Amino acid sequence: MTIHFKVCCIHSADEADMAIAAGAAAVGLVAEMPNGPGPISDEEITEIAAHVRGRHGDKIWTTLLTSRTEGDAIADHIAATRVNTVQIVDAPERGAYDAIRKAHKAVRLMQVIHVENDGAVDDARRAAEYVDVILLDSGKPGTAARTLGGTGDVHDWTISRQIIEAVDRPVFLAGGLGPDNVASAVAAVGPYGVDICSGLRDKADAYRLVPEKLEAFAAVLRQGAGG
CATH number at residue 172: 3.20.20.70
Going by C-alpha positions, the residue among 111, 158, 113 that lies closest to residue 136 is 113
Model confidence at 225, in pLDDT bands (50, 70, 90)?
A: low
Domain that holds residue 114: 4-224
Taking only the tens place, the pLDDT of each residue in 1-18 is 789 999 999 999 999 999
Cβ-Cβ contacts under 8 Å for 167 (sequence gap 6 or more) = 124, 125, 128, 134
For the stretch 97-143, pLDDT in tens is: 999 999 999 999 999 999 999 999 999 999 999 999 999 998 777 66
Environment class of 102 (CB within 10 Å of its CB; exposed 0-12, middle 13-18, buried 19+): exposed
Angle between helices 157-166 and 182-189 (to 10 degrees): 40
pTM, two decimals, is 0.94
Domain count, the chain: 1
Nearest to 175 by CA among 161, 162, 157, 192: 157
Kindly tell me the sign of the dihedral angle through the C-alpha atoms of 81, 217, 55, 111: negative
Overall average pLDDT of the 30-48 stretch = 91
Side-chain-facing half-sphere of 167: CA atoms under 13 Å = 32
Q: Average of pLDDT values for 30-43?
A: 89
Residue 98 has a CB neighbour count (10 Å cut-off) of 11
50 pLDDT band (50/70/90 cuts)? Answer: very high
* Range 75-103 average pLDDT: 97
Q: Is 137 exposed, middle or buried (0-12, 13-18, 19+ CB in 10 A)?
A: buried
Which of 65, 75, 76, 59 has the alpha carbon at shortest distance from 30?
65
